[in-house]
Structure 1
Amino acid sequence: MSGDVRDFIGEQNRYERALAKSMDWEFVDQQSKGSCYDYIAPDGTKIEAKFDWDSIKTGNHYLEFAQTSNGGKTWIPSGFSLSADEADLWVVVNEEWMRTLTVDSVKKMITENRSNLKITQTRAGVNFNRPGQLSKAYLIPFDLLDNYVMQKMPSPIKRE
């Protein structure tokens, strides 16, 4: 693993741990590819959090649902597709806001708005992905997402 990738993963891990501490959630250690949630709240609620830093620039949440390692020949479920059956809450964090939604409300939002949602995929090399590694996602405008949130609060995490 190159130093850049290691640094990126280490930085994300620091943000994840800082969020756990600020919210009094247990961070799920030793996650692997395909893990369905990042945290467990004291009441047992399972929480998946996405640090969507670029969303400040775009005004959209990147709701990933599939990935490929072979340039798009085959796609496998990822992101929300995995969390949808196991996590209870979906949390979107950027430097301004932390939005908390129930997984059921995210499903409802997708169902009610699917025909109007833009589907996009990552560009090569984003977040140090190897050539051929891409993800697909719905771009969810925050003005739409905010209609489904159960809580929106100032972000407890600031990017370094």
Structure 2
Amino acid sequence: MPTATGTAPAPRPHALHENWKPPVVGVCLLLPVGSDCLAIADLEGLIMLPAGTVDDGQTPEHAAQAVLPGPRSHLLNLRHVAVHEVQARRRKVITHILAAATAMTYDTVTALQYRDPRAVLRAIPTLQFLDQAPLSTRARTLAALQALATGTTAHLRTGFVGAQPPSGPMP
């Protein structure tokens, strides 16, 4: 029976499984209604901020118009308030958050259409949304609301929130 002689090879450092696939890029809309509400998409009891995908070669601003198709969507004055990056196991997920620069009215919300016909757009109190939202959505929404109020753009990554994009690879 043959036996191995010599030393065993040194173990390789744990390689991260990053970016095997192209990133997934999405857009999310933060639409204040009045002074204390947000426009949300209600999909059969699942509430979320209106969201959609950003196709190759498409800007987040253009993709945002597709989230709320229809004649009134072009009236929204959207501003880029946050970028959220998450490194998933095999790809990066990037979400651009755009917000209406001015508060909407209840009538405007009910006149808009959502890209998914199963969902209904409605306005709910901001605190109620934050109570019901998952922790990651809550943090992203709070950072976006703060950026909207201060006129800045928030850059969020795992363990990082700031006004400037972080340099270097994601942890």
Range of TM-score over shorter length: under 0.3
